Amino acid sequence: MEGPMQQNTWKVVCLVVLLLFTAHPFFGVIAGPDSHLSIPQCRGPGCEIVAVERPWPEALQSGMPFRLGAYRMSIPSDPLEVQFQPALDLAVIRYKEGTLAIALRRIDEIVATVSTKGAEPQSLTGADFPRLVFTITPNDPEPSTLVDKVIWRFAMDSKGAYFKYTEEAYAFVHGQVKAYAAPVKWGRFDHLIFVAMEGREDFLEISTNGITWPVLQSIIGSTK
């Protein structure tokens, strides 16, 4: 059983995670209709990173099932504590070794910030957002239509925030499931993982601290 000090430390960790997620690029970066024109452009060496494709990892064999939205995976067994934040579609799972923060993100969180009256239909989906962040650079031509342009610019701005201190990134493909991962220095997090399914409007964002890279790869390998 954990003592008061350990419990208080866990509360602090959860608070830090929640503060990071509410300060996340998905919250409040775009304010008001058509303010996409003011979205900062991606700057810095991280903006030039393009994920290198790797073979789909072996799935975690001895884990516990986890589901968020349509996404299912195995995560390490015997967590010390699990906290759900339904309003944020966020789960924070704490282990002795570290922490997993798993969130369900939706592309309509971006699209809803844009006045789409009279605009051409969007062609980019939620599955495209992780692809843009991990495989596209500001040197690539952006879309010409309004909504797609906003999604594109938002992805480039997010890339700059995530990859400020990143030198490498990886892509994994298994059927309709695509996963992207990179070591990062974002708050207390040291790895960022996106998981998307082709054609879906949502995707998973997994931010981690202290979980080893082999374990993270096995979590990716279990995702479906």
pLDDT value at position 168? 93
Give Cα separations from 88 to 59, 123, 203 (angstroms).
Answer: 27, 26, 13
Q: Which single residue is written with the structure tokens 């239509």?
A: 145
pLDDT value at position 22? 43
Which among 40, 43, 176, 27 has a CA at the least distance from the CA of 110?
27
Q: What is the mean pLDDT of each run of 10 residues along the chain (224 residues)?
A: 47 47 46 51 85 96 91 94 89 94 85 62 84 93 84 87 90 96 89 93 94 96 94
Residue 191: phi and psi, rounded to 5, are -145, 145
How many residues are given for the chain? Answer: 224
Instruction: Report yes or no on whether pTM surpasses 0.75.
Output: yes
Q: How far apart are the first and last CA of the chain?
A: 34
Q: How many of the other CB atoms lie within 10 Å of CB of 32?
A: 10
Q: In the chain, what are the domain boundaries? A: 4-29+44-222
Asked whether the beta carbons of 149 and 37 are under 8 A apart, the reply is no
CA gap 82, 19 in Å, rounded = 17
Side-chain half-sphere of 18: how many Cα atoms within 13 Å? 12
pLDDT value at position 44? 80
Q: Kindly write down the DSSP assignment for every residue of 41-80, as one continuous string.
A: PP-SGGGG--PEEEPPPPPPSSEEEEEETTEEEEEES--S
CA gap 125, 123 in Å, rounded = 7
- Per residue in 106-134, pLDDT tens? 887 766 666 555 566 678 888 899 999 99
pLDDT value at position 112? 67
pLDDT value at position 115? 59
| 199: three-class secondary structure by DSSP | coil
pLDDT value at position 24? 52
Asked whether the beta carbons of 209 and 93 are under 8 A apart, the reply is no
